Amino acid sequence: MAPGRPRHPWRTFRRWRHHRPFGAGVTLALGGAEILLTQRASITVILTAGADSLVGYVLPALMIICGLLIVLNPRQRLFYSVVGVLASLGSWVTSNLGGFVVGMLLGLIGSSLAFGWLPDRPPRQRRLFRRRKPATTGDPAETPTAAGTA
């Protein structure tokens, strides 16, 4: 292996991914991609007029760009998430009811996740089972050996 390359690229990627709102950006970008894919549906499927307008392509592209920028530049995530919400809501009118509602909902969920992401929180400790100590009052009659013999 070359001396400058990381030994575990997957572990490096996971570490990089956990320091940014990765899921939020991917969800927003997937919503924009879904809306772009539904732009070229057949005329019997298209529900709203304006599928060929320029805004019908600009808003989903803006959603994809905001999703990528949320992942690549998490310090500006608040601005990108607000723009993503506005583009998602605007797609309701311009892009076949927001990609038949699925793309719009993905965009709203991704933007909301990015808006609520807090980078400076310590990671939670996972505990499946918490050990509880039995509550005793100090009375020797309540100890398990004394209670079993009495």
In order along its 150 residues, the chain shows pLDDT tens digits of 556 665 788 888 888 888 899 999 999 999 999 998 887 755 554 445 444 567 788 899 999 999 999 999 999 999 999 999 999 999 998 888 888 899 999 999 999 999 999 887 676 677 677 666 666 666 666 555 655 555
The pLDDT, as a whole number, for residue 132 is 66
The pLDDT, as a whole number, for residue 3 is 65
CA distance 62 to 29: 9
The pLDDT, as a whole number, for residue 4 is 66
CB burial readout 99-128, b (16+ within 10 A) else e = bbeebbbbbbbbbbbbbebeeeeeeeeeee
The pLDDT, as a whole number, for residue 30 is 97
DSSP state for residue 138 in the 8-state scheme: S
CA distance 77 to 46: 33
The pLDDT, as a whole number, for residue 50 is 46
The verdict on pTM exceeding 0.85 is no
User: Where are the domains positioned within the chain?
Assistant: 19-118
Enclosing H/E stretch for 81? helix 77-94
The pLDDT, as a whole number, for residue 13 is 86
Q: Are 32 and 107 in contact (CB under 8 A)?
A: yes
